Chains A and B, each alone.
Chain A
Amino acid sequence: MTTTRPTTPARPAGPAAQRVTQARVIRSEWTKLRTLPSTAWSLLAAVALIVGVGALYSLLRVTRPPSDPAAVAGFDPTAVSLTGVQLAELAVGILGVLLVAGEYATGTIRATFAAVPRRLPVLWGKAVVVGLATLVLCLPAALAAFLVGQSILSGEGLDIALGDPGVARAVLGSALYLSAVGLLGLGLGALLRSTAAAVAGLFGVLFGPQLLAGLLPAAWSDRIYPYLPVPAGVAVTAVQPDPVSLAPWSGFAVFCLYVAVVLALAAWRLGRRDA
């Protein structure tokens, strides 16, 4: 904190700039992620939605418990307590969008690409930090939502234990699914470069295909529905298999494939377009 202004900057005490490596770019992207106010807000919103909406919906279901045997058999207490995941996906998707589209909007991208002129390490670095940050926050949140939800549902004896078949997979799968949605947002942001366009694209990918499929003849829509992004992705978050949906991990793999395609397109465009 000195007020003196040397006419030329002191030569660096340590070594000057070293090679750009993927590990260094990941560190840099982590610094960027954690120092943006919007990161805290969107992750906080995601956690609050996962836990809050899960608890609310569990309360709602406990006041109107399933009565007939078929409904009891089809009741999925895990899915009920994890309902919030369906809303939290918007928060983490927007986090992914903002991390890259925000750089285009503010011009930071030019400073970023001047430091990492090969560009692609920046996209992979952002993907690593968004994916990990989302996973690390959403896994405990999903676990908390599950535990809170089950304690509410236990009032009517509707609860299930974490050790029961498929339950732990659904909790872990919810966090993995949200992590993948964060990467989807990141890919859309890098592909479209504008926050508004990328958020619109995110809504389009998450909700559009189901709406369009509904317009098709039932025979067709039943056949393609399980392969649409969200129906495929959420298969991993349910314990009671939906008769039309894909198997949990196959569905998640299909969703990851969509995300990979978007990221690959973003990477392809990143190398070609002027910043």
Chain B
Amino acid sequence: MIEAHGLTKRYGDKTAVDGLSFTVRPGVVTGFLGPNGAGKSTTMRLILGLDAPTGGSVTVNGKPYQRHAAPLREAGALLDARSVHPGRSAYHHLLALAQTSGIGRSRVDEVVDAVGLGGATRKRAGGFSLGMGQRLGIAAALLGDPRTVILDEPVNGLDTEGIRWIRSLLRGLAAEGRTVFVSSHLMSEMAMTAQHLIVIGRGRLIADTGMEEFIAAAAPSLVRVRSTDPAALAALLRSRDVVVSGADDGALAVSGLSTDQVGRLAGAAGITLLELTAQQASLEEAFMDLTRDAVEFRAPTTGGAQE
């Protein structure tokens, strides 16, 4: 369980995190979503006490993280895949972290096997690929068998197999009753993994909602319908108090009715339909709509959320 209350962090005159309040509950994967520079990594550092908040507070399992006597049992974190000395072997990196909390070598071997690093752990971490670095960071996060797992952009640099592995790992950890808090700037990735979403932009909370509610609210389904008489069909549907807009090829985009309803209405009015399809607006588009005002860096050519 992670609870943030009015969490604020300013660096000089720049506000990275601005009055964030949210709760991350155990048993589900909570996605932490926001554009680059939204304050996700800063928030995670604040949770772990690496940075001190300018205002507000945050607790992990009921206490500020620094106050726990056995911190690695409370939370394990992947903050930056490169939080490793390149000259030290992966095994010794993990061993040194384990020893701070009296965790034995057998547990180091367990997490190494669990993340699939196997034989690479005796090599210097400096020679690791980004994907191996991520696996090493995840191994470090799992060392203490923590009740709360915090992962910052864990899929970065992973191949397809690795991404699928992360998804099942996260769901498995949540199913064991742990709190799983994972950040990403990719909505599509979150949609496949997370059951709950916390969306921030420019350090402020934009949404704190279940994944299904988010999808339903942010991406209303459209029905695309083409007929021999678009004008008559449009008039018919508009009388039903639904939003109808025309497409270039003479098709209509209808929101607020299902395909079944559109088909029955057209049939009753004797209008011939040529095409009737349900279309889901992409989640990525919905996410961009939501955070459009909160994007910090934008290429000058991008006028809006086209494409």
Contact = CB atoms under 8 A, between A and B. Distances in A.
Contacts of A64: none
B216 interface: no
B146 A9 contact: no
Contacts of B95: 31
Contacts of A36: 85, 87-88
Nearest to A39: B87
B101 A20 contact: yes
A9 B70 contact: no
B303 interface: no
A137 to B, nearest CB: 20
A36 B125 CA distance: 12
Given A18-B102, A118-B66, A107 B144 contact: no
Interface string A13-52: 1111111110011011101100111100000000000000
A35 B72 contact: no
Nearest to B145: A16
Interface in A106-140: 106-118
Nearest to B138: A9
A12 interface: yes
Interface in B117-145: 118-119, 140, 142-145
B168 interface: yes
B115 interface: yes
Nearest to B52: A274
Contact of B71 (A9, A38, A114): A114
Given A3-B118, A7-B168, A31-B92, A17 B101 contact: yes
B50 A115 contact: no
Contacts of A35: 88-89, 92, 96
Contacts of B49: 113, 117
A4 B165 CA distance: 12
A216 interface: no
A18 B70 contact: yes
A5 B104 CA distance: 21
Contacts of B144: 16-17
Contacts of B50: 110, 113-114, 274-275
A274 B45 contact: yes
B82 A106 contact: yes
Contacts of A71: none
Contacts of B110: 9-10, 12-13
A211 to B, nearest CB: 34
A19 B69 contact: yes
B48 A117 contact: yes
Contact of A2 (B51, B65, B113): B113
A21 B160 CA distance: 41
B85 A106 contact: yes
A106 B173 CA distance: 29
Contact of A8 (B51, B98, B173): B173
A121 B113 CA distance: 30
B151 to A, nearest CB: 12
B79 interface: yes
Contacts of B84: 106-108, 111
Interface residues of A, number: 50
Interface in B98-117: 98-104, 106-107, 110-111, 113-116
B106 A28 contact: no
A4 B107 CA distance: 17
Contacts of B99: 24, 27-28, 31
Given A7-B169, A114-B48, A116-B100, A17 B73 contact: yes
Given A5-B165, A28-B96, A274-B51, A110 B80 contact: yes
Contacts of A18: 70, 73, 101-103
A109 B86 CA distance: 13
Nearest to B51: A274
B160 to A, nearest CB: 14
A103 B93 CA distance: 12
A108 B83 contact: yes
A115 B72 contact: yes
A205 to B, nearest CB: 26
24 contacts: A7-B168, A9-B169, A12-B107, A12-B145, A16-B145, A17-B71, A17-B102, A17-B103, A17-B144, A19-B70, A20-B69, A20-B71, A21-B102, A29-B96, A31-B99, A35-B96, A108-B84, A110-B79, A113-B49, A114-B50, A116-B71, A117-B65, A274-B45, A275-B51
Given A20-B100, A107-B82, A117-B48, 10 more contacts: A2-B113, A8-B172, A16-B103, A16-B107, A17-B146, A21-B102, A24-B99, A32-B92, A106-B84, A110-B50
Interface of B: 45, 48-52, 65-66, 68-73, 75, 77, 79-80, 82-89, 92-93, 95-104, 106-107, 110-111, 113-116, 118-119, 140, 142-146, 165, 168-169, 172-173, 175-176
